[in-house]
Amino acid sequence: MKAIVLSAVGGTDQLVHQDFADPAPGPGQVRVELEAAALNHRDVWIRRGLYAGITLPVILGSDGVGTVDQVGEGVDVSLIGQRFWINPSLAWGDRKDVPDYKTWRILGLPDQGTYAEKIVVDSAQLEPCPSDWKAEDAAALPLAGLTAYRALFTRGQFEAGQSVFITGIGGGVSQMALQMAVAAGGKVYVSSSSDTKLENARRAGALGGVNYRQADWVKTAREMIGGEGPDIAIDSAGGKTIDDLIDLVRPGGSVVNYGQTTGTCPNLEVRRLFWKQVNLLGTTMGNRSEFRAMLKFYIERGLRPQVYRVFDLSEAGSAHDLMESGEQAGKIVLKIKG
């Protein structure tokens, strides 16, 4: 098969479109012929060598949709020919609150990922994908949708009518948090480095937005949202933004973080955290029941993820360049078949 293989960390020229041995399913596993994959920022961190536990060579990619073409021992042969999403959260374990850190992995390191024509996964990772979903829309959903769903509903305990502030709305996960919060009856506000992305977010149902490049964006956001501040903030920027969000949310509100794009937070105002009784919550991806609930949410409400651009699999390097430029608003997809 053809795959994008990363044999050394570095620039986008390290993403080489080459032949790779066809994987064969073992007991309990299936082989999926992929139609499309999607990028996550994790792929860029790994490619640049900025991720823990890198083993090479590796095929990156956590998101994929496709059709089962082979099954291993003990797997129902009727799966062959059926179309599925792949849950990228591998071996989460039995607890709902946290994964089993001894077994849990994210598809696409160390396991071979979805930037390939074929992939082998455990059959328990499959969830049926309706035929009316275009491959690029379907591929865009898994990792970002799961992360946004858990951040908003499980960790954030969001309820209809609450206000939610989502940082960096150009991001893949942020876009899905916006879609889900709007669809579930939230009053949603966003931040971005780009006024165009803020305008797009308003068209997608946000009530307002602020540009986080402006020094006084917290003040602007507070005035825009009114009252005591938002009930929930959802963030992957990390860094100083964490401190800013503790400042912004209402007393007793929640800051839910799933990333540290801008690094660690050097001067956290701890007094504000306890005095305001703020819930500072971490979240990462999610479990199988959350993955299923997220898919159901999208399917039942007729939602589709926002896809910013589609590249051919062989153009994975250009797709990474685009993600690193930060120009995108929504998901970047690799078309593999058709």
Ligand X SMILES: NC(=O)c1ccc[n+]([C@@H]2O[C@H](COP(=O)([O-])OP(=O)(O)OC[C@H]3O[C@@H](n4cnc5c(N)ncnc54)[C@H](OP(=O)(O)O)[C@@H]3O)[C@@H](O)[C@H]2O)c1
> How many C-beta atoms lie closer than 10 Å to residue 98's C-beta?
12
Give the residue with the Cβ less far from ligand X, 66 or 145.
145
DSSP classification of residue 218: H
Contact residues: ligand X, CB under 6 A = 40-42, 45, 143-144, 147, 167-173, 191-194, 197, 212, 236-237, 241, 258-259, 261-262, 284-285, 323, 326
Is 120 within 8 Å of 23 (Cβ atoms)?
Answer: yes
Residue 20 or 115: the one with the smaller Cβ distance to ligand X is 115
For ligand X, which is the closer residue by CB, 252 or 263? 263
> At closest approach, how far in Å is the CB of 326 from ligand X?
5
| Residue 330 CB, nearest approach to ligand X (Å) | 8
Cα 234 to Cα 215: distance, rounded to the nearest angstrom: 20
Distance between CA atoms of 211 and 124, rounded to whole angstroms? 42
Closest to 179 (Cα-Cα) out of 98, 239, 234? 234
Of 269, 267, 212, give the one whose Cα is nearest residue 235. 212
Nearer CB in complex with ligand X: 31/320:
320
> Least Å distance between CB 210 and ligand X?
10
Report in angstroms how near the CB of residue 327 gets to ligand X at its nearest. 8
Tell me the β-bridge partners of 192.
Answer: 211
Q: Which is nearer to ligand X, 30 or 146 (CB)?
A: 146
Cβ at position 283, least distance to ligand X in Å: 7
CA distance 42 to 150: 18
Nearer to ligand X among residue 156 and residue 172 (C-beta):
172
Cβ nearer to ligand X, comparing 186 with 259: 259
Query: Minimum distance from CB of 28 to ligand X (Å)?
Result: 25
| Nearest of 72, 68, 45, 47 to residue 59 by alpha carbon | 47
DSSP 150: I
Q: How far is the CB of 235 from ligand X (least distance, A)?
A: 7
In terms of CB distance, is 276 or 320 closer to ligand X? Answer: 320
Q: Which pairing describes strands 307-312 and 208-211: parallel, antiparallel, or unpaired?
A: unpaired
Q: Are 72 and 25 in contact (CB under 8 A)?
A: yes
- Residues 182-203 as b/e (b if ≥16 CB within 10 A, e otherwise) read bebebbbbbbbebeebbebbee
CB of 98 to ligand X, least distance (A): 12
DSSP-based three-state secondary structure for 238: coil
HEC states along 119-133? EEEEHHHEEECCCCC
